[in-house]
Amino acid sequence: MTKYIIRRLLQAIPVIFLISIVCFVLMLMAPGGPQAQFNQNRFIKPEQVDLWLQHWCLVRNPSPPDMIKEYAGWLGVWNCQTQSFISENGGLNFLPSFLGGGVNGMLHGDWGISIYLNQPVLDIILGRLPVTLLLMVTAWIIWLTLALILGVVAAIRRYSFFDQAATLFSYTFYSLPTFWLGLMLIEIFAVTLHWFPSQLIQSPRISPGPFASAVWWQAFWTDPGLYGWDVAMHLVLPVTTLVAVSVAGDSRFVRSAMLESLNQDYVRTARAKGLSERRVIFRHAFRNALLPIITNGALEVAFLFSGAIVTETIFSLQGMGYLYIQGLQAHDYFLLMGIVFIGAILVVVFNLVADVLYAVADPRIRYD
Amino acid sequence: MSTVIDLSHVAEAAPGRSIGQKPPDDVLLDVRGLKTYFHVLDGTVPAVDGVDFQIKRGETLGLVGESGCGKSVTSLTIMRLIDIPPGEIAAGEIWFDGVDILSLSPSEMRDIRGSEMSMIFQEPMTSLNPVFTVGYQIAEAVKAHRNVSKNSARDRAIEMLAAVGIPSPERRFKQYPHELSGGMRQRVMIAMALSCDPKLIIADEPTTALDVTIQAQILELMKSIQERTGTALLLITHDLAVVAETVERIAVMYAGRIVEAGTAEEVLLDPKHPYTQGLIASIPSTVPRGQRLNVIKGTVPNPFRMPTGCRFEPRCPHAFGPCKDFDPPLRLTGPNRESACWLQYPPGELPVKETDAPPATPVPVERVGH
């Protein structure tokens, strides 16, 4: 098993490399660029724009070799200052700096500087992750629990009133776009009823600083009830939006996995042994239905980190999804690459986690 | 007026077998007028449509018939493992060990299932749960019915594995189904079925999914276990060779009914019903090399449009007068020998269609019993 995990991790390296190069080139090929922010300013001359781009190691309308060069710069193979593969320290740029390599690029742990926010990309992402993780993990736990309950009960009582109602509920919410559902929840529960706040992760009036920053934690421990309750209230509407949409799809998935399992011969064998219905369903059928659910669940975790673009935007939550949409609008290549890179790594890692969990749950799967 | 006799209930009226009356003590299983229907989108499928048979204590009965004739549904109905809906046990009684099990509550039935009567299924590949060890699955059956500790359930499971001829049972106990061959898995199923010393074992095509050499081993095993423990056996199969070797009595099923029953020798050597005759004639080894094999012409009737008379009439080479309009009930033709064919009735007892015959004196129907 350890050997298998190591092999899979080694295989992941070229995969992540390929993902990053495809993403980077596609991004550069898209029309426009970060210089678009100067388009409307007639006091800025094209030469000044070129100089500004040069500062970011970019060129206007890059040709394919330019694109490769820019990608190599982001990766840390190319040195933008010396305009060669040789670093300021005299060695090949991709080598660690103590061997004469450079300090720029992913290979040296430098995620770059956000063009739009003019801060290190990694710092920005780490600052935004807590909001996203709190939102997504809360929603995920709730929707997975609900999906398991709804799916299993609907499968056991197939075609009953409950099953029909759950089906109707699922298709309804599955068909609702998040932006519409979110706006309706704001209109009803925030604007009309004043039950919950409509935006942000905490009330500006009591906010000691950015959520989950050092200052914030300090204030939080002085009065956990106050700050905790405030954050919880702010989470209700966005979490509801996410849960409503996701529970619909997942409960169908659980239902079909459970139905398939319930129709297997070994379930009939379990009944023929005279086991109680509860034991037949939970011990024999559900245990087998869990196998695809585990895979599905593990893959979902990877996407929790990238946040919910639409939901975070509607509720003005400063998370990863909102950050991504901001970066996209500003053509902030380095910020976008940072987010995409994290996503790629997580998808690869959680695919492996899913495979490992599968082997743990199913004795028929062996990796050696 | 000629009687259009409602013959489907003759068996119920037979002495000692009237509805609601407990069968004699030596009869372990008494199935009377059993009807299991399935309500599907296109209508109702009468999968089992009036089945009657008995198994005495310690007796072995082979239930023979082609695919789709209702053998498996009969066995699942006896275990009460039919999904309701879409299934429905529309009529009949199943007396098991002095109790009509159709009147039991689900939890009372659970106590009998796996303990008093147990079942071996056709597909050993899929009938065991892939995520539990075989030992766990046998011990689970023991624990469900016996108030025993985990350790003694484990010991019992190992003992059963040894009893069905599995070498090094302690090691096999910890293995998963996918680590065993098909024959081994079927042995595990048999061990599971035997683990609570049942009075009746229902084996639904236990050897169909196995290759021929393994088939012989499994049949040999079942026979020796049956002789050793004295448990009754209901062996369901479409393979005449299997029943010929294994059982004392045979009941032949066609289109949801029993058409013939008797001892194995009688039925195989002297078949009375044209369907049984056709079945036996179509065994390849009875035909000299180079000649065409015998077949029963036609196909099994469509369950949505069963013939009004005898169900075998459209395919029967001997069909005559009453066959098209009247469904023959089982009739005793010898001690413990039954056949549902008008050929077995004396001419005077044949029913006549009202329109093409003058009214005759009502035909006294001979009571059919065992």
Least confident interval from A316-320, B58-62, B199-203, B305-309: B305-309
Mean pLDDT of chain A: 89
How far, in Å, are B193, B272, B353 from residue B323 at the CA level?
42, 15, 11
Average pLDDT of the residues in B124-145? 88
Distance CA B319, CA B317 (A): 6
Cα dihedral: A20, A24, A26, A28 (round 10): 180
Number of helices (H) and strands (E), helices first, in chain A?
A: 14, 0
Lookup: tokens for A236: 């209700």
Does the structure show a pLDDT above 70 at A270?
A: yes
* pLDDT tens sequence across B47-56: 888 888 888 8
Does the structure show a pLDDT above 90 at B262?
A: no
Contacts of B144 in chain A (CB under 8 A): 273-276, 279
Does the structure show a pLDDT above 50 at A179?
A: yes
- Residue B6: predicted pLDDT: 46
Q: How far is B192 from chain A (nearest CA, A)?
A: 8
Does the structure show a pLDDT above 70 at B366?
A: no
Distance CA B165, CA B218 (A): 10
Does the structure show a pLDDT above 80 at B171?
A: yes
Is A274–B113 a contact, with Cβ atoms under 8 angstroms apart?
Answer: yes
Contacts of B141 in chain A (CB under 8 A): 273-275
Cα dihedral: A130, A133, A134, A140 (round 10): 180
DSSP B328: P
The residue of chain A with its CA nearest to that of B113 is A274
Distance CA A130, CA A312 (A): 13
CB-nearest partner of A272 from B79, B123, B178: B79
Structure ipTM = 0.80
% of chain A surpassing 70 pLDDT: 100
Lookup: tokens for B364: 């006294």
Distance CA B45, CA B150 (A): 44
List the end-to-end C-alpha distance of chain B, in Å, as a whole number: 31
Does the structure show a pLDDT above 70 at B355?
A: no
Is B81–A275 a contact, with Cβ atoms under 8 angstroms apart?
Answer: no
How far, in Å, are A34, A104, A139, A176, A209 from residue A196 at the CA level?
38, 46, 17, 21, 21
Cβ proximity of B117 and B78 under 8 Å: yes
Chain A contact for B79 (CB, 8 A cutoff):
yes
Cβ proximity of A301 and A348 under 8 Å: no
Least confident interval from B129-133, B148-152, B322-326: B322-326
Give the number of other CB atoms < 10 A from CB of residue B182: 15
CB-nearest partner of A276 from B110, B127, B141: B110
Please report, as a single letter, which amino acid is at residue A136: M
Contacts of B203 in chain A (CB under 8 A): none
Is A274–B79 a contact, with Cβ atoms under 8 angstroms apart?
Answer: no
The residue of chain A with its CA nearest to that of B194 is A273
Which sequence spans correspond to the domains of chain A?
31-108, 121-361
Is A268–B115 a contact, with Cβ atoms under 8 angstroms apart?
Answer: no
Distance CA A34, CA A116 (A): 8
Q: How far is B127 from chain A (nearest CA, A)?
A: 4
Chain A contact for B141 (CB, 8 A cutoff):
yes
- Residue B357: predicted pLDDT: 52
- Residue A184: predicted pLDDT: 94
Is B131–A270 a contact, with Cβ atoms under 8 angstroms apart?
Answer: no
Average pLDDT of the residues in A170-176? 89
Cβ proximity of B301 and B311 under 8 Å: yes
A121-361 has which CATH code? 1.10.3720.10
Give the number of other CB atoms < 10 A from CB of residue B334: 12
Contacts of B121 in chain A (CB under 8 A): 265, 268-269, 272
- Residue A303: predicted pLDDT: 82
Please report, as a single letter, which amino acid is at residue B173: F
Does the structure show a pLDDT above 80 at A78?
A: yes
Mean pLDDT of chain B: 81
* pLDDT tens sequence across A135-146: 999 999 999 999
Higher pLDDT, B302 or A137: A137
Does the structure show a pLDDT above 90 at B311?
A: no
Cα dihedral: A251, A253, A258, A263 (round 10): 140
Average pLDDT of the residues in A87-92? 82
Contacts of B178 in chain A (CB under 8 A): 363-364
Least confident interval from A63-72, A116-125, B248-257, B292-301: B292-301
User: CB pairs below 8 Å between A and B: how many?
Assistant: 72
Interacting residues of A161 by C-beta distance below 8 A, sequence separation 6+? none
Is B114–A273 a contact, with Cβ atoms under 8 angstroms apart?
Answer: yes
- Residue B8: predicted pLDDT: 45
Q: How far is B234 from chain A (nearest CA, A)?
A: 15
